[in-house]
Amino acid sequence: MPFGLAASVWSRDAATGARLAQRIDAGTVWINCHGVYATEMPHGGFKHSGYGKDLSVYALDSYSRIKHVMNKTT
């Protein structure tokens, strides 16, 4: 599949739901719910489902370039 924004897994068995969630190649996978967001976690997809992450501190990575400058003084 060329896209991987989000997915939901519905299962009566928590272990089965967790195993399926691990196998799904998507940026967000919900188990027994859909559309619930945690403010500390990023939202964004994999593959052709957009660029970068949004809705968390991780979103700043898309707008930042880290540069390390070392200056030896005598």
pTM greater than 0.75 (yes/no)? no
* pLDDT value at residue 18: 94
Half-sphere exposure of 16 (CA within 13 A, CB side): 6
Q: What tokens were used for 29?
A: 């996978």
Q: What tokens were used for 39?
A: 């403010």
* pLDDT single digits (tens) 8-64: 999 999 999 999 999 999 989 999 999 888 877 777 888 888 766 777 777 777 777
